[in-house]
Structures are given as C-alpha cells and as structure tokens.
C-alpha cells in the first residue's frame, strides 16, 4: 500500500494479487460488457451522505437508466433537476471506466473549479473505499489528476476555450454545461473539442437548463431531433447524442407536497427552471408549457408503408383525413393526419419531403381505402369518411391530381369550406389558409388539446408543437424547424368545426370551440414607448 497526498491508503501499481473464487466472480461481473458498470456501482461504490456518512450507493431506477445510457451510447446528454444524484452517477461510471478500460484518457470539465473538485472528490472517495481486490493500482494520485497502472488517466479541470484542445480523449464529462459563462466560451470549447472525439471517444454532458440559446440547449435540441424524413424514431438525435431526462417526481423522496414547499422557498419561475427543467424562453408556444411537458406520445401499434397507425379503425366512428401537400423536393414536408370523430383521437399519420404530389395523393387514397375496408368488414355498410387538403399554392396541384383520378374513385367525401358571405372569389375545393383562418384553427386546437377534448399520440407531432411559437401576429415554426404535421392537424380542426354544423355528435364535442371573432392573438410585451 502507498499513501496519497491526503494520507489515504491507496493501492500500489502492479501489486501482485491472489484472488478467491468469489473475488474472481465479482471481477468478471464488473467486466461484463453489458451490465458491468451497474454491477460495479451497486456492489462496490460508496458515497458520502451529508447526514448519514459513508454508505453504499443504491441507485434509484432513473439512476440505473442513466448509467446504462452512459455505457450504451457513445454520446449522451442528460438533463436533470437539482440534487438528483447526477454527479454521483457520473463519478461511479468514470471510476468503473478508468479501472476497466486500459489506456483510457478521461477528462472532467466543470463550469467552475469548485465543481471540478466536487466531482473529483466523489471519484476519489469511491476509489478509496473500494475493496482492495477490486481497486486498480495507481502511479500517481493527485488532487486533480490520477494515473492508473493499466495506463488510464483522469483529469479534472474547468471549462475554457482551450480545455481538451489537441488531446486524444477516450471520454469527456461536461458537468453543468449550461452554466459555462460567457456562452461564447462554451461554444468555442465545444468546437475545439469535437475533433478530439472524432476518433472514437465518448462524451456525456449533464446540466439543468439555463438559456434556450446556449450550447447545452443546442446540443439538447439536436439530440431530440430523432425522427427521420418519414417520422420514424431513432435512439439518437441528428448530432449523434442520446437524450436522457428524469423529472423531479422520479426521486422517491419528492412528491407534490415537497414541490409546493420548494416553490414557496425559491419561487415558481426558479422551480420551473431548476426542477421542471424548462428552458424559460421568450418564445410563446401555442400550447402552454405545462401541457407540452405532459405530452409523451406513444409508439405506433403498426405501420403500413410509412404511415404510422396509433389506433385500430372503429367501424362506428367518423373519420377525418387531412393532407397538407408539399413540392416533394426536399424542403417542406407533405403531411397527412387521420382523426377519429366524435372522440377527436389521432389514429394515423404520414409525412415525407421527397414524395411527389401525385404520390402524396395516392398515399391519401390508400389510407382512405384502408379505413373504408376496415369499417365495412366490421359491419358498417355506410362508412363516413371525409378527406380534404389545403388549396393554397401547392394545393392547387393536389386538386388537379384528385380531379384526374376522379373523386368517385375515393371511398370518402371531399370536404370543402363554403364561400363566406361577402367574399368574392371563385370557388375552389379544399380549404384556403389565411391569417384569420389559421389563427381560428390554432385557437380551436389549443382549446381542445389543453382541455383534454383531443388526444394526440405522435411523437413527431409533439416535437413540432414544442417549436410552434408566436411569430409576429400569428404562429409558426421556429427558424430551422418544421410545422407540417401541425398544419395538417389544424386542417383537421377546420374540418371538424365545419362538420359540427350538421353532425350532432361532432357538434356536441366542439361546442366549446371559439368563434373566429373570439380567437386569442399572440401577446407580446413591448419595452418601447
């Protein structure tokens, strides 16, 4: 044994060992390529509890999931509330990684020196309290750097523009990355670091949110863009990061009473940022943030081609099918939404941005045909299916294709908006979107969704809603985002509002809808005079 700078007993490098059969089994379990980190953490890692002293680390369910995320994915970004044990999880995994990964080069980067020291202290405490047979030997054991006899090295430092630059890293851990100040420093750091990870290194980034414009927010946003051009979900985002989130109520010691007490101490806004993990932004989303946070979505029950089905066809229901067409040249997406009436439940969805208009109509026709067949085979001799499309610009091309195929060949009724009294224009089938009709549809959708009168299941749609914000005097997608699934859903609302005029069941469901004269406009607070 040798002594650390603090007088702590540590294991000498290359010490000869004799192991019992039980110790060998423990070592083999720790080296398991799938469950090794979790086994190591649950059986050998000790933590320093603020009131109970030294005790065995017993990870909560979400902490186990986080350990698996760190291990299973090359890049992981974790957003968690305060005091959820994310630093403890990180220290446990880093210790396992250093001792069981030969020649590993690990860097801890924290937003403050005290933060880097805190992580390293937890790392050192866990190492110093390991059974001797499990510990790796060390060459050097300093406050900020430890070198093991398997060639691994770990260093803790603060985040600067030059941190990690030019180094060949196996793993980097960025703690409280949203609080690196100024924000430009975090961007420069990440830009400088990226080449060091391009050779195969791992990275995990943890933080509570701060701003919606910092580097952490950017990584988180891209990590949550997990849907391909068809809307199929992957486990990582467009930047290769796997996003991990755990709400405060997953901690077993936290309940609503705890939340109310904490809000009274720190205020609602701070609670929302530090515990609800909201990016408190100036953008006003159409759907309120509480409702958006509660929308989780679900996996489709089946797929037909690239159409995702979330619910079986009910022979007794009316169906609304809306197409928001596109050029199909790689820009905006074409999108189809299918809703069941009068329940107002999302049934199916399709989108793609490289499908020509002719094929978009064929997708629409095939969805209608499938619903018709399912309803007739279920005993409904007269299925009620309505379909429509937006008739602005590209919509005109869609109308031409429908005319060429022949409406009589669609097993449904083409629904069009009537010409309003006082309007002078030639009649066109479908729905024309204007500023006024869009705001009215937004109002109906907001009212129905927030009052639980409408159910949506699509994760891509929920993702779009989180970026569907006030833009001037209307609503639309943030720059660089899409709102095509939202647009198709707004068309569904316009169809339902029209059908409510003569369908009593739909009328009853839509009675609380706002009239076009009652819709709320986006509200902005001006600091000018």
pTM: 0.64
11 DSSP assignment: P
Judged against a pLDDT cut of 60, whether residue 143 lies above it is answered with: yes
pLDDT digits (tens, 9 = 90+) for 299-348: 999 998 889 999 999 999 999 999 999 988 877 899 999 999 989 999 99
**In this structure, are strands 105-110 and 153-158 parallel, antiparallel, or unpaired?**
parallel
Of 479, 471, 467, 398, which is closest to residue 435 (Cα–Cα)?
A: 471
Asked whether the beta carbons of 513 and 447 are under 8 A apart, the reply is: yes
Q: 92 pLDDT exceeds 90?
A: yes
**Torsion of Cα atoms, 225 then 229 then 233 then 237, to 10°:** -30
| 377 or 466: which leads in pLDDT | 377
pLDDT winner (highest mean) among 15-24, 111-120, 217-226, 349-358:
349-358
Ranking 437-446, 464-473, 483-492, 507-516 by mean pLDDT, the lowest is 507-516
| Tokens at 398, concatenated | 């869609």
The whole-angstrom separation of Cα 136 and Cα 501 is 76
516 or 244, which is more confident: 244
Residue 436, pLDDT > 80, answer yes
What was the pLDDT predicted at 5?
45
Three-class SS state of 165: coil
Orientation of helix 357-377 relative to helix 394-405, angle to 10°: 50
Q: What is the pLDDT of residue 513?
A: 46
Mean pLDDT of the region 455-473: 89
Q: Distance between alpha carbon 34 and the CA centroid of its chain, in Å?
A: 25
Return the pLDDT at 426: 60
| Residue 193 scores a pLDDT above 50 | yes
Please give the average per-residue pLDDT across 51-70, as a whole number.
91
> H/E/C letters for each residue in 328-354?
CCCCCCEEEEEEEECCCEEEEEEEECC
Question: Kindly report the CA angle at 210 between 204 and 215, in degrees rounded to 5?
Answer: 50
Each residue's pLDDT tens digit, 262-301: 999 888 878 888 888 877 655 678 998 778 877 888 999 9
pLDDT band at 12 (very low <50, low <70, confident <90, very high): confident
Would you place residue 7 in the very low, low, confident or very high pLDDT band (cuts 50, 70, 90)? low
Between the alpha carbon of residue 463 and those of residues 53, 79, 354, 471, the distances in Å are 43, 17, 21, 18
Q: Is the pLDDT of residue 9 over 70?
A: no
* Between 527 and 357, residue with greater pLDDT: 357
pLDDT cut 70: percent of the chain above it? 88
pLDDT at 197 > cutoff 90: no
In order of their start, the domains of the chain are 11-246 (3.40.50.300), 302-510 (3.30.420.240)
Q: Of 429, 437, 418, 454, nearest to 491 (Cα)? A: 437
Task: Report the candidate in 452, 416, 443, 450 with the shortest Cα–Cα distance to residue 344.
Answer: 452
DSSP letter at 179 equals G
Q: What is the mean pLDDT of residues 154-180?
A: 80
The predicted-structure confidence for 477-515, as pLDDT tens digits, reads as follows 987 788 999 999 999 999 998 888 777 677 676 665 444
Encode pLDDT of 509-529 as tens digits. Answer: 666 544 444 444 444 333 332
Confidence of residue 165 (pLDDT cuts 50, 70, 90): low
Instruction: Give the model's pLDDT for residue 529.
Output: 27
pLDDT, residue 361, reads: 95
- Residue % of the chain over a pLDDT of 90: 50
């Amino acid at each position: 044994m040798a002594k650390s700078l603090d007088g702590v007993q540590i294991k000498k490098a290359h010490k000869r060992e004799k192991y019992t059969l039980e110790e060998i089994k423990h070592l083999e379990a720790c080296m398991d390529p799938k469950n090794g980190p979790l086994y190591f953490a649950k059986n050998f890692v000790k933590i320093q509890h603020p009131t109970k002293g030294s005790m065995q680390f017993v990870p909560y369910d979400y902490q186990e999931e986080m350990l698996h995320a760190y291990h299973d994915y090359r890049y992981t970004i974790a957003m968690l509330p305060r005091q959820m044990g994310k630093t403890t999880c990180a220290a446990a995994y880093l210790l396992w990684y250093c001792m069981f990964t030969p020649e590993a080069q690990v860097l801890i980067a924290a937003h403050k020196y005290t933060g880097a020291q805190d992580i390293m202290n937890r790392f050192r405490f866990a190492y110093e309290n390991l059974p001797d047979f499990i510990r790796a030997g060390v060459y050097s054991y300093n406050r900020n750097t430890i070198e093991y006899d398997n060639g691994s090295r770990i260093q803790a430092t603060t985040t600067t523009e030059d941190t990690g630059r030019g180094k060949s890293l196996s793993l980097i851990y960025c703690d409280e990355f949203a609080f690196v100040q100024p924000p430009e420093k975090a961007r420069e750091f990440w830009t400088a670091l990226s080449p060091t990870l391009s050779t195969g290194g791992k990275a995990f980034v943890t933080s509570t949110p701060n701003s919606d414009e910092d580097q952490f927010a950017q990584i988180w946003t891209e990590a949550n863009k997990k849907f391909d051009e068809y809307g199929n979900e992957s486990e990582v985002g467009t930047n290769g990061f796997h996003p991990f989130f755990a709400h405060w109520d997953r901690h077993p010691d936290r309940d609503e009473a705890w939340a109310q007490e904490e809000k009274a101490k720190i205020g609602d806004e701070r609670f929302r940022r530090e515990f609800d993990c909201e990016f408190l932004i100036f953008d006003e989303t159409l759907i309120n943030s509480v409702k958006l946070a509660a929308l989780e979505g679900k996996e489709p029950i089946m797929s037909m081609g690239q159409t995702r089905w979330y619910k079986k066809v009910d022979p007794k229901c009316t169906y609304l099918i809306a197409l928001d067409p596109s050029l199909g040249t790689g820009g905006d997406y074409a999108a189809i939404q299918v809703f069941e009436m009068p329940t107002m439940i999302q049934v199916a969805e399709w989108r793609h941005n490289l499908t020509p208009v002719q094929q978009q109509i064929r997708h629409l026709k095939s969805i209608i045909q499938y619903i018709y067949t399912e309803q007739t085979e279920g005993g409904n001799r007269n299925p009620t299916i309505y379909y429509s499309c937006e008739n602005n610009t590209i919509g005109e091309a869609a109308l031409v294709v429908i005319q060429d195929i022949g409406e009589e060949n669609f097993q449904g009724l083409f629904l069009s908006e009537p010409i309003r009294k006082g309007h002078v224009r030639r009649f066109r089938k479908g729905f024309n979107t204007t500023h006024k009709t869009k705001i009215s549809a937004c109002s109906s959708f907001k009212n129905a969704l927030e009052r639980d009168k409408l159910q949506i299941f699509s994760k891509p749609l929920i993702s779009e809603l989180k970026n569907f914000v006030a833009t001037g005097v209307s609503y639309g997608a943030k720059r660089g985002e899409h709102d095509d699934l939202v647009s198709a859903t707004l068309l569904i609302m316009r169809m339902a509002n029209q059908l409510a005029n003569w369908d009593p069941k739909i009328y009853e469901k839509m009675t609380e809808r706002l009239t076009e004269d009652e819709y709320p406009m986006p509200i902005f607070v001006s600091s000018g005079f």
